[in-house]
Amino acid sequence: MEKRLYDLTKLTRFNADVPQKVVVYQSEKTLAAMWCLEPGQEVFLHMHPNADDVWICLEGESGLYFAGDGKEVPISKGMAVLAEPGQTHGMRNTGKDRFVFIGVAAPVPVQTERLDK
């Protein structure tokens, strides 16, 4: 079961200077990574030309999801968002508390293209 069961509360880590990306697992088909954001930190705007990327918010009440084309959508704990191949996405913690979400992307290898806002 050690490769099937993950205690996400034990994997979180934070850094006051930069957002933290923690790889939860990677298989031949999918990749899961957890992002841990302090207030004001963000995951840069990007897209994956070859992969879906589902973000599931685990902790935090004030996230701002960048949906591309200048669109920003508030998200919080309990919400999930999907970026299909080629759709831009990013995230900023706009609250006063920590923000944690997990992203599951497939297929691997996941190609990432960084974009400007």
Per-residue pLDDT of the chain (117 residues; tens, 9 = 90+): 567 899 999 999 999 999 999 999 999 999 999 999 999 999 999 999 999 999 999 999 999 999 988 899 999 999 999 999 999 999 999 999 999 999 999 999 999 999 976
Residue 117: the pLDDT is: 61
CATH number for region 27-114: 2.60.120.10
**pTM for the full predicted model:** 0.92
For the chain, the domains span 27-114
Asked if 101 contacts 93 with a C-beta cutoff of 8 angstroms, the reply is no
Place of tokens 């990013």: 90
User: Strands 20-26 and 52-59, how do they pair?
Assistant: unpaired
Alpha carbon distance 77, 57 (integer Å): 5
